[in-house]
Chain A
Amino acid sequence: MNHLPQAWGRPRDDVYGPYNNSYLQTSGPSQHTQSPIVTGTSVLAIKFKDGVVIAADNLASYGSLARFTDVKRLLRFNSRAVIGFGGDVSDMQYLTRLLSSLEINENYSVTSSTELAANNLHTYLHKVMYKRRSDFNPLWNQILIAGLDVADNPYLASVDLLGTTFSSPTLATGFGAHLAVPIMRRVCPDEEAAKELTQEQAVETVRECMKVLFYRDARSLDKYSIAVVTKEGVDLKHGEKLEKQSWAFAEGIRGYGTQVN
């Protein structure tokens, strides 16, 4: 009889024979990311007559915990394109590395004819995202690509973890798609309106939307990055603070939270 503790309570080998483990699988199916872990919330962008404004806050949440408060979710790709990432932060970091190597190849290449424009970058990211979702291993992001296209016109488009793409003069990911888009559309309902919009108006609208999102989105932060892409290049600022906040409206909220009636 076997007195070793690991045999306690098990069928005795001398009575039943050694246990047959063969039905247990030693290797299962490959496991892929089934949900995001550390996440970034909204990215907002709006086209104006000379370019595009894009903004995202500096928070990376771990579930509902505000885990990292200095995360840069806007990436300057080159002098004519900025990329904003919503969703999983580690997948964002992977894409950042992928894009850096692309950028380095482009810039050091003697043979490339022109700088990659925002629309070229969007096509590339679309292929990357669609490939990954087709492998059942998606990069858990929604991405906005803001900048100038080949013809130097303002360009703004989105691609998400499913490889779905679309374009609009105003775009937002995550919570912003619900809360910020209606506000931005008031200022810029269509392409014609975008051609009339000034940079100041566009920046002001985006800042206002960031404020609304901070009021309403529990996974947001009052510190954010904002970038303006024009023919003059990219003006990217990190760590901007939300100004002139007013929480007076909070007094009037009834029905949830601490004030139940």
Chain B
Amino acid sequence: MFRNNYDSDTTTFSPQGRLFQVEYAQAAVGQGSIVVGAVSKSHAVLVALKRQAEELSSYQKKIIQIDSHLGIALSGLAADARVLSNFMKQQSMASHMTYDRPISIADISVRLCDRAQTHTQHAGSRPYGVGLLIAGVDGKGPHLFEFQPSGDAQEMVAASIGARSQAARTFLEDQVKEFESMDEATLITYTLRALIRSQPEDKVLSYDNTSIGVVGLEKSFKLLEGEEILEHVKRAYRLEGRAPEEYSENADEGGSME
């Protein structure tokens, strides 16, 4: 069996200059269910497809509010994301406590990266196995950052991470110039359409398996779930040219897609 001599910890480079543990962590991000995000000049939106571990369980939590101006969507190890979200909540509160101002999105992303990066340089710890989309509004307007376990965060116009996210990215790339001028509802619809495109024909978005997080210049972060997302999803299906009746209230088969 093939054995990789350079992947036992993150302190050893391979002769090709790769850190395999970091790459494996990034592979874990690719295994998670898909999340999509986009920004206009007034809003930032996150949408996510939630998995149900088993028929009797609840759906996983994909979007976490950090502060009134900021939220994240995760793909990968949910436990790692929970820990990172606690860290982000602490940083956010520290900014309120020390300066009486909401933390900037770039600032909290950099702090998150600093923390993640240390796990790529020390033996005996593993990188975080989760990727995040960080969406929020600060003094410089709405922002979207894509965070990777390598300790890298990139500001994006639109982004998607997780299983089958390539199809969503292809759709987003086609619209890249349109996002800036979109209003809230349109932005949500487009991100949902990217989500729909990433899924096979028989996989239907339902109010059980879809979450939407939205934040705007004049609007604090809001997590939409259940009935609240129905109109948005219906409109997205309509624009995708799929019959609205295919999307119905009892189309709630939310089980795992693999």
A contacts, CB < 8 Å to B: 109-114, 116-117, 119-120, 122-124, 127, 150
B99 contacts across to A, CB distance below 8 A:
116, 120, 123-124
Q: Which residues of A contact B101 (CB under 8 A)?
A: 114, 116-117, 120, 150
CB of B88 to closest CB in A, whole Å: 14
B99 to chain A, nearest CB (A): 5
Q: Which chain B residues numbered 54 to 108 have a C-beta less than 8 Å away from chain A?
A: 97-101, 104-107
* A127-B107 contact given A113-B138, A113-B139, A113-B140, CB 8 Å threshold: no
The 10 residue pairs across chains A and B that have the minimum distance between CB atoms:
A114-B139, A113-B104, A113-B139, A123-B100, A111-B106, A113-B138, A111-B107, A120-B99, A120-B101, A113-B140
Q: Which of A111, A124, A127, A150 contacts B104 (CB 8 A)?
A: A111
Chain A contacts for B106, CB-based, 8 A: 110-111, 113
Tell yes or no: B217 within 8 A of A by CB.
no
By a CB distance below 8 angstroms, the chain B residues around A110 are: 106
| B residues with CB within 8 A of A | 97-101, 104-107, 109-110, 138-140
Besides the known contacts A112-B107, A113-B138, 18 further A-B residue pairs in the complex with CB atoms under 8 A apart: A109-B107, A111-B107, A111-B109, A111-B110, A113-B104, A113-B105, A113-B106, A113-B107, A113-B140, A114-B138, A114-B140, A116-B99, A117-B101, A119-B100, A120-B99, A120-B101, A123-B100, A124-B98
Most buried by A among B98, B99, B107: B99
Chain A, residue nearest B97 (CB): A127
Question: Which among A113, A119, A127 has the highest number of chain B CB atoms within 10 Å?
Answer: A113
B56 to chain A, nearest CB (A): 44
20 A-B contact pairs sorted by A residue (CB < 8 Å)? A109-B107, A111-B106, A111-B107, A111-B110, A112-B104, A113-B106, A113-B107, A113-B139, A114-B101, A114-B139, A114-B140, A116-B99, A116-B101, A117-B101, A122-B100, A123-B99, A123-B100, A124-B98, A124-B99, A150-B101
A112 / chain B contacts, CB cutoff of 8 Å: 104, 107
Nearest CB in chain A: distance from B154 CB, A: 14
CA distance A122 to B100 in the complex (A): 9
| Distance from A129 Cβ to chain B, minimum over Cβ atoms (Å) | 13
Whole-angstrom CA separation of A150 from B100 in the bound complex:
10
Q: How far is the CB of B43 from chain A (nearest CB, A)?
A: 17
Which residues from chain A contact B139 at a C-beta distance below 8 Å?
A: 113-114
Give Cα distance in the complex from A122 to B98, angstroms. 10
**Assembly CA distance A116 to B140 (angstroms):** 13
- In the complex, the chain B residue whose C-beta lies closest to that of A150 is B101
Q: Which B residues are CB-close (under 8 A) to A117?
A: 101
| Contact indicator B104/A120 (Cβ below 8 Å) | no
A231 CB to nearest B CB, Å: 16
A52 to B146, CA, bound (A): 42
Report the separation of the CA atoms of residues A116 and B98 in the bound assembly, to the nearest whole angstrom: 12
- Scoring B101, B138, B140 by chain A CB atoms within 10 A of each residue's CB, the highest score goes to B101
Of chain B, the residue at the smallest CB distance from A121 is B99
- What is the CB-to-nearest-CB distance from B210 to chain A, in angstroms, rounded to a whole number? 31
Q: How far is the CA of A212 from the CA of B110 in the complex (A)?
A: 52
Contact A120 B138 (CB under 8 A): no
CB distance from B117 to the nearest CB of A (A): 15
Residues in B neighbouring A113, C-beta threshold 8 A: 104-107, 138-140
Chain A residues positioned under 8 Å from B98 (CB to CB)? 123-124, 127
